[in-house]
Amino acid sequence: MSEEVVRYELRGHVALATIDRPEARNAISPEVAAGIEAALDRIEGDDEVWVGILTGTPPSFSAGADLKAIGTGRGAELATERGGFAGIVKRERTKPLIAAVDGFALAGGTEIVLACDLVVASRVSTFGLPEVKRGLIAAAGGLFRLPRKLPTNVAMEAVLTGDPIGAERAHELGFVNELCDQGVAVEAAFALAERIRVNAPVAVRESRAVVVESAGLDESGAWERTAAAAARAAATEDVKEGVLAFTEKRAPRWQGR
């Protein structure tokens, strides 16, 4: 992973990946796409990481695709084979990922946020899919993911006008989980991650998987998927620890297995 464009930090069981190209508004270059994919590899491959956070160096989260890279014939390199655009929008993951947004997340930047599980944003942040203003479409998941996060008419307005949505309105509509002041989005994301981290990691991952995968299932399939996840969680050592900690009136010491 290029340490210059995507920084990686570990705090306990929470990993932080930071897109670090503020001079280019954290636009997604081939190096950034590879860096995000590498960061996700580390998050997914490290048993000690239970939650991930993705952010960008302020004053922006990401402006989307790097037009300079596209102009020099490197547009195809903005996507990775496993992850798609920015190494993330098509990436299959098992661990919760929080987007920490402090500034604007536009075009592909919004699509990266939509690929995460939860969103923390400062009040100065904005989201949007302005591609139609340039004769393009939002082809990295925004056109079908935004209507899953917002009321259909609101999402349609955003897609057809290309106009941005402020963080406060996005929070009111349920797209943003938590609002915070400018400059503290990452710390607010760590606080949210800590609320997840105190829970049994296998149970968290299995619960996340059911939420993600049941969206495309009928009720029978959703029940079947839930039963399979419940069986896997029940077979872990952490179940015994959870019961013991409850009876002993103490915090559980999860092992993640």
Q: Provide the CB-side half-sphere exposure for 3 (13 A, CA).
A: 1
pLDDT band, residue 225 (cuts 50/70/90)? very high
pLDDT of 98 reads 98
> If you write DSSP's letter for every residue of the chain in order, what string do you get?
--TTTEEEEEETTEEEEEE--GGGTT-B-HHHHHHHHHHHHHHHH-TT--EEEEEE-TTEEE-SB-HHHHHTT-GGGGEETTTEETTTTT----S-EEEEE-SEEETHHHHHHHHSSEEEEETT-EEE-GGGGGT---TTTHHHHHHHHS-HHHHHHHHHH---EEHHHHHHTTS-SEEE-TT-HHHHHHHHHHHHHTS-HHHHHHHHHHHHHHTTS-HHHHHHHHHHHHHHHHTSHHHHHHHHHHHTTS-------
pLDDT of 4 reads 83
Mean pLDDT calculated for residue range 135-163 = 97
Instruction: List residues bridging with 53 in a β-sheet.
Output: 16, 98
Instruction: List residues bridging with 99 in a β-sheet.
Output: 54, 119
Q: Where are the domains of the chain?
A: 6-197, 201-247
CATH superfamily of 6-197: 2-enoyl-CoA Hydratase; Chain A, domain 1 (3.90.226.10)
Round the average pLDDT of the chain to a whole number and report it.
96
As annotated, the active-site residues are: 111, 131
Residue 153 has pLDDT above 60, yes or no: yes
Residue 2 has pLDDT above 50, yes or no: no
Residue 41 has pLDDT above 70, yes or no: yes
pTM of the predicted model, to two decimals?
0.95
Cα–Cα dist 8/75, whole Å: 25
pLDDT of 1 reads 41
In tens, the pLDDT along 80-127 reads: 999 999 999 999 999 999 999 999 999 999 999 999 999 999 999 999
